[in-house]
Amino acid sequence: MILAATWSEIWSAWGDVFTTASLASMVAAAGPLIYATIGETITEKAGVINLSLEGSLMLSALAGFGTAFVADNVLIGFLAAAAVGAAIAALIAFASIELRLDQIAVGFVMTLLAIDLSDYLGNRFVGEAGPAVPAWPIPGLSDIPWIGEVLFDHNLSVYGSFVVVIVAYIFIYRTRRGLELQGIGERPEGAFARGVAVNRMRYFYTIVGGSLVGVAGAAFSLDQRLGWREGLTRNLGWIALAIVIFGGWHPIRVAIGAILFGFLQVVALQFQPVFPGVSQVLPTIPFPLMILALVIVYTDWFRRLGDRYPRLRGILAADPPSGIGVAFHPE
Amino acid sequence: MTTESRAERWGAIAAPIALAVLVAIVLLLLAGANPFEAFKLIGEGAFSGWANMGETLMAWVPLVLASAGLIITFNAGLWNIGIEGQIILGGIAASWAAREVGGPGWVVVPAAIIAGALGGMVWALFAGVLKTRFKVNEIFGGLGLDFVAASLAVYLVIGPWKREGVASTSGTDLFRDEALLPTVAENNRLSLVAIGLAIAGVIFVYYLMKGTMFGLRLKAVGRNVRSAFLLGIPTSRYMLGAFALCGVLAGIAGSMQAIGFHFKLIPAISGGYGFLGILVVLLAAFRAAWIAPIALFFIAMSRGSTQLALRLDIDSALGGVITGILVLLVILGGGWQARRLLRREAAS
Amino acid sequence: MSLLLENIHKRFGQVHANNGITIEIEEGTLHGLLGENGAGKSTLMKVLSGFIDRDSGRVLLDGKELDLTTPRTAIGAGVGMLHQDPLVFLPISVVDNFLMGSPGSRLLNRAEGAAELRKISEPFGFNFDPEAPARTLTVGERQQLEIVRLLWLGAKVLILDEPTTGISEIQRVDLFATLRKLAEQGMIVIFVSHKLEEVEELCQRVTVMRQGQVVGEAELPTPAETLVEMMFGQIIAESDRPHVEYGEDVLALDAVTLKEGNLTVPDLSLSVARSEVIGLAGLEGSGQRTFLGGCTGLVPALSGSITIGGQGMAKRHYRDFMRHGVHYLPAGRLEEGLVEGLTITEHFILSGEDKSFFVDWDAARQGSQENIDHFSIKGFHDSTAESLSGGNQQRLLLAMMPPGLKLLLMEHPTRGLDIESADWVWTQILARRNEGTAIVFASADLDELLRYSDRILVFFNGRVIKEVDARCTTGEQLGYLIGGKEPE
């Protein structure tokens, strides 16, 4: 009964996945997730785990929508959301660096607190229609057949996500400061010996990462999911954390992971009418697939891929920065 | 070694509480409500009337059981985020027993509780095997399993176990009367069986950790896996044991939810008590003796604040906000205290 | 150009690690800082290189006071430090390691960096592959990279903290040649060590520290006894090697191949008798640790047979080896041996023989106090492991050993310990030896290997290349062997 779909149904559903409209929506849907995952990648590359993403996304989505609604200005909404994300991240950094507390414990508490805060404060805005990021097809580029609609017929928020990935990659792997960032997370004593202000930089990068998470929240409430309701970004914070691991803390691979997740969701959506019996379960398939992906990433076989393809070693890396999660103290 | 004075220790506890209360007052004022009326309502919401007290205590039971289980996994150095899924599987297994097992109450009820314990244990062992054998961090393994468990519950409720004619996410049919926990009175959910299990759970965990070799070895595993291994402790086995024991307690919590509180299977059978349990244990500073009163406080806040929504038009999430802020402030305050002591010691 | 350390003081709580240190060094000098473990040398160098703040005193270079508040300002002032374990970033490439932390353009110019690296390395004969990840470099090569980097950043004072641990004789000779060249170019080289012979070979002047103070200075060459007397405050007599009867074979390896991670140690064959002491010599990562792991079931044997006391142990688990009278003492006292946060009493409970399920805390505390007294552990029964000093941690670990062992395996038993603790450790070990326990230990201290071993196995590149009689081998010969070369 469950698998009683005909081949033609399956084939046409699969084909529907790859229409330009579908792919375009996939690129747009991945946008907010890319902000969040790249932000967390930066934070973790610096050696700090911001576990609060599930809560940060929710609260900053609310902050973004709420301020944009009140001020009738999308940009202010994004700034407010970024500020909220940054504030939560700064608190975690402070608790770890100054108070020597466990980053995971503080992050977890912040998660639940931020979710409850967003529920409490968000009541006022449920069901309201607010400003949205205006569409902005890039003149010229958006007319290119197929690619034009998929990549260039979106808005600033989505284009921003492309930019963020590229900037993150260039910064981390091609600049002096980016190299120092790698050092801070990999071996803070070594970076300290090189004269890098480790803790100051950890604050900085945690806040930058947190701001990006905030922007992601706004990208949800002011663009992709327009509006506010309880559970607007449910589970996406946890998914983002998993994507960072799956992406090996490399911006390009992480972005691919985010897009892959969007792809899986589109597939699930297109196949819902084909397999009606399991329609409730399909959207949750990405989550156990995440576990599977994590299992694979840690196997010997995957690790040895880096040896077989040395040029790809950077992008195939699976290990976290060695100094992650542990506070650094010079004495 | 410099130790803190009595005054300092009490200050460290009182200050965060005072601050949390202050924040609560501010939030309430901002929402246009009278703080004192709000606090009174919260108390009423939780404790006024016998039936109400009964429900509060029945909500307290699964939280205590989950928290007790988490103390075991925390001692093993594990962040058992998968506990939500373990409670859900306990609820599912107990629901299965309630539906399938025939016979009088004294047969079905223990069957449901045991089924719940096994269900939670098996689900916890999945997370354990993912960690020990496949090196998947228990946070993400647990999360994934939480999602799967939640989907499973939804699937059962609107699929094979759906209500006659109506497939509704509000839950399955009610279980037959014999399958439910025996209560103290007709209109009261309070069941002494549940209370007894909760207390037994706490006592069990307390003595397990303090007075047994298992507890001491588990503590070693939690602090330093490598050293524990070289000392001759089978670390993987102990971690799996911790997962299993926590799963048993979580599963019993789930069974309490199924046959003692909701009387049916609902998708949200875990009631969020898994994650809430983590907060309880953090606030209790991992001390088994403190989880019972702290859990009661959490439940009171949670149930009491639904009154706020009804009577003062304030979102019931305020309860969670207050308890969340309290936990955060206590943790931060504890870290601050520790730093002050360290600095004082270095200066001497 | 001259460097003057003026009246440096540094306290850590009760310990006065640097007590009024004054040293003057002229440019182009190879200056040794000699003293045994715990004398305060490392603290002084950390102060000088900006890692920790001094309590009082000044440091002047050419009469100008230096800002040494952080490593960055120290390098800016021209003071660079080479750590015992060079702080390189393992997954990052050589050229990136070279460039990290240096001032320059915002965008990394790796080609330029590689060229600079080659230019500076050439006169010293160093050879680097800029793209390779730093984890592929040996310890000696990592030192070279660091030296070159510090030079590039304009170091005028180079501090080397115990640089010869973990490098072979050949590499040591190369290092000394490099240092001499640097001194010729006018650099001040401070060579910190507890090894008398090396300081004698390399340095022109030496300052001797003991218990936080400068106890003497000397122009080299100077009779060794003078220096020894300054270091220890007394003449240390060479103890005679006692005669010991060996028992039956307790450990027998036959064509055993071990594999740990990337390292495969093939074809090991060895018999060890009761009361025999076997030393394992070799550079870090040459296979000694793997060998020890194989003898206790931590590292699986791919082929061959291992017998303990006549019992075949192939494919058996670590805990089985424990049950057959094998005990393993790892190098990392707090990382692998003890559990941070647990008390002394709890450690004794965990290592005890009691099989019961419940813990009798009263009895445990009593037994713990007895052990503390018997082994002179400076601590209370509720002291946590991390609150003990290194020496006392080692005492605790030795006290936790079960009696009547067949085989005792140890990794670096006296690493980081002062002479008094090290002596005490060996007294305990030899007592066990006299009771019939076979001892196999790995050490980076060639003196320790030669002094206590009956036979020494030399490891190089993952295999045993030679077995020597400790009684007829010199330190220099052993040094050549661990580098894979036949002694000249």
A257 to chain B: which residues are within 8 Å by CB? none
Name the token pair of C209. Answer: 């520290």
Class of the domain covering C249-482: alpha beta
Nearest CB among B217, B345, B348 relative to C350 is that of B217
Cβ–Cβ below 8 Å for B148 and A288: yes
Domains delineated in chain B: 1-33+314-348 (no CATH), 35-294 (1.10.3470)
Return the closest-CA partner of residue A47 out of A209, A162, A155, A195.
A209
Q: Does A277 touch chain C (CB under 8 A)?
A: no
Cβ–Cβ below 8 Å for C89 and A182: yes
Contacts of residue B76, Cβ cutoff 8 Å, sequence gap at least 6:
B218, B221, B222, B238, B239, B242
Contacts of residue A184, Cβ cutoff 8 Å, sequence gap at least 6:
A46, A47, A191, A196, A198, A201, A202, A205, A323
Cβ–Cβ below 8 Å for C335 and B234: no
**Best to test chain B binding among C339, C360, C411 (most B CBs inside 10 Å):** C339
Report which of residues C215 and B196 the model is more confident about. Answer: B196
Q: Does A175 touch chain C (CB under 8 A)?
A: yes
DSSP class per residue in C313-376: -TT--HHHHHHTTEEEE-S-IIIIIS-TT-BHHHHHHHHS----SB--HHHHHHHHHHHHHHTT
Q: Which of B184-188, B192-196, C293-297, C421-425 has the lowest mean pLDDT?
A: B184-188
Contacts of residue C18, Cβ cutoff 8 Å, sequence gap at least 6:
C8, C9, C10, C40, C43, C44, C47, C54, C212
Q: Which of A2-16, A229-243, B227-241, C184-198 has the lowest mean pLDDT?
A: A2-16
pLDDT of residue A318: 65
C106 to chain A: which residues are within 8 Å by CB? 175-177
Query: Does residue A312 have a pLDDT over 80?
Result: no
Q: Is there a contact between A260 and A242 (Cβ–Cβ < 8 Å)? A: no
pLDDT of residue C260: 86
Query: Does residue C130 have a pLDDT over 70?
Result: yes
3-class state of residue A40 by DSSP: helix
Q: Is there a contact between B69 and B247 (Cβ–Cβ < 8 Å)? A: yes
How much of chain B exceeds pLDDT 70, in percent?
98
Cβ–Cβ below 8 Å for B151 and A281: yes
Cβ–Cβ below 8 Å for B345 and C13: yes
Return the closest-CA partner of residue C278 out of C59, C464, C112.
C464
Report which of residues A88 and C418 the model is more confident about. Answer: A88
Q: Is there a contact between B231 and B246 (Cβ–Cβ < 8 Å)? A: no
Q: Which band of pLDDT confidence, cut at 50, 70 and 90, is reported for residue A89?
A: very high
Nearest CB among C13, C339, C356 relative to B220 is that of C339
B224 to chain C: which residues are within 8 Å by CB? 335, 338-340
Query: Domain extents for chain C?
Result: 2-88+137-232, 249-482
pLDDT in tens, B237-277: 999 999 999 999 999 999 999 999 999 999 999 999 999 99
pLDDT of residue A1: 45
Q: Which band of pLDDT confidence, cut at 50, 70 and 90, is reported for residue A306?
A: low
Class of the domain covering C2-88+137-232: alpha beta
Cβ–Cβ below 8 Å for C359 and B211: yes
Kindly report the CATH number assigned to the domain that includes residue A181.
1.10.3470
Nearest chain A residue to C98 by CA: give it: A194
Query: Does residue C14 have a pLDDT over 90?
Result: no
Same fold? C2-88+137-232, C249-482: yes
Contacts of residue C473, Cβ cutoff 8 Å, sequence gap at least 6:
C450, C456
Domain count, chain A: 1
Distance from CA of A156 to the nearest CA of B (A): 32
Sheet (strand C263-273) strand order: C263-273, C249-260, C301-308, C311-312
Contacts of residue C41, Cβ cutoff 8 Å, sequence gap at least 6:
C33, C35, C161, C192, C194, C209
Report which of residues B14 and C280 the model is more confident about. Answer: C280
Report which of residues C117 and C474 the model is more confident about. Answer: C117
Query: Does residue C168 have a pLDDT over 80?
Result: no
Report which of residues C262 and C257 the model is more confident about. Answer: C257
Q: Does B217 touch chain C (CB under 8 A)?
A: yes
- What is the signed CA dihedral for C444, C450, C451, C454, rounded to 10 degrees? 120
The verdict on whether omega for the bond into residue A188 sits within 30 degrees of 0, i.e. cis, is no
pLDDT in tens, C387-402: 888 889 999 999 999 9
Question: Rounded distance, CA C469 to CA C41, Å?
Answer: 35
How much of chain A exceeds pLDDT 70, in percent?
89
Question: Rounded distance, CA A3 to CA C183, Å?
Answer: 80
Identify whether A1 is part of a domain: no
Distance from CA of B201 to the nearest CA of C (A): 18
Show which of residues 302-331 on chain A sit within 8 Å of chain B, judged by CB atoms: none
Return the closest-CA partner of residue C98 out of C118, C78, C81, C84.
C118
Q: For residue B57, give the H/E element and its range.
A: helix B50-75
pLDDT in tens, B199-241: 999 999 999 999 999 999 999 999 999 999 999 999 999 999 9
Q: Is there a contact between B163 and B264 (Cβ–Cβ < 8 Å)? A: no
Identify whether A28 is part of a domain: yes
Identify whether A260 is part of a domain: yes
Alpha-helical segments (H) within C203-252 = 224-232
Q: Is there a contact between C248 and C260 (Cβ–Cβ < 8 Å)? A: no
Identify whether A325 is part of a domain: no
Contacts of residue B148, Cβ cutoff 8 Å, sequence gap at least 6:
A284, A287, A288, B85
Nearest chain B residue to A92 by CA: give it: B332
pLDDT in tens, C225-235: 777 777 766 55
Question: Rounded distance, CA A324 to CA A45, Å?
Answer: 8
Nearest CB among C73, C76, C100 relative to A194 is that of C100
Question: Rounded distance, CA C146 to CA B50, Å?
Answer: 75
Nearest chain B residue to A288 by CA: give it: B144
Chains contacting B (3+ CB pairs below 8 angstroms): A, C
pLDDT of residue C239: 56
How many Cα atoms are found within 13 Å in the side-chain-facing hemisphere of C341?
A: 15
Determine the structural domain holding residue A303 and report its residue range: 7-316
Nearest CB among A179, A196, A313 relative to C99 is that of A179
Q: Which band of pLDDT confidence, cut at 50, 70 and 90, is reported for residue B1?
A: very low
Distance from CA of C95 to the nearest CA of B (A): 33
Question: Rounded distance, CA B215 to CA C446, Å?
Answer: 43
Question: Rounded distance, CA A93 to CA A51, Å?
Answer: 11
Question: Rounded distance, CA B207 to CA B215, Å?
Answer: 8
Name the token pair of B167. Answer: 């497939």
DSSP class per residue in C14-44: TEEEEEEEEEEEETT-EEEEE--TTSSHHHH
The ipTM, to two decimals, is: 0.90
Query: Does residue C30 have a pLDDT over 60?
Result: yes
Nearest CB among B136, B154, B321 relative to A120 is that of B321
Q: Is there a contact between C293 and C258 (Cβ–Cβ < 8 Å)? A: yes
pLDDT of residue A250: 92
Name the token pair of B252. Answer: 């019993």
Residue A17 phi/psi, 5-degree rounding, is -60, -35
Nearest CB among C70, C81, C89 relative to A183 is that of C89
Chain B, chain C: beta-carbon pairs less than 8 Å apart: 58
Q: Which band of pLDDT confidence, cut at 50, 70 and 90, is reported for residue B58?
A: very high
DSSP class per residue in A41-102: HHHHHTT---TTHHHHHHHHHHHHHHHHHHHT-HHHHHHHHHHHHHHHHHHHHHHHHTT---
Q: Which of A174-183, B124-133, C313-322, C472-481 has the lowest mean pLDDT?
A: C472-481
Q: Does A300 touch chain C (CB under 8 A)?
A: no
Show which of residues 24-43 on chain B sit within 8 Å of chain A, judged by CB atoms: 27
Q: Which band of pLDDT confidence, cut at 50, 70 and 90, is reported for residue B198?
A: very high
Q: Is there a contact between A211 and A39 (Cβ–Cβ < 8 Å)? A: yes
Q: Which amino acid is at C201?
A: E
Identify whether A44 is part of a domain: yes
Alpha-helical segments (H) within C93-248 = 94-99, 110-121, 139-152, 169-184, 196-202, 224-232
pLDDT of residue B170: 82
Identify whether A172 is part of a domain: yes
Q: Is there a contact between B202 and B298 (Cβ–Cβ < 8 Å)? A: no
Burial class (CB in 10 A: 0-12, 13-18, 19+), C347: buried
Query: What residue has token string 């939670």?
Result: B120
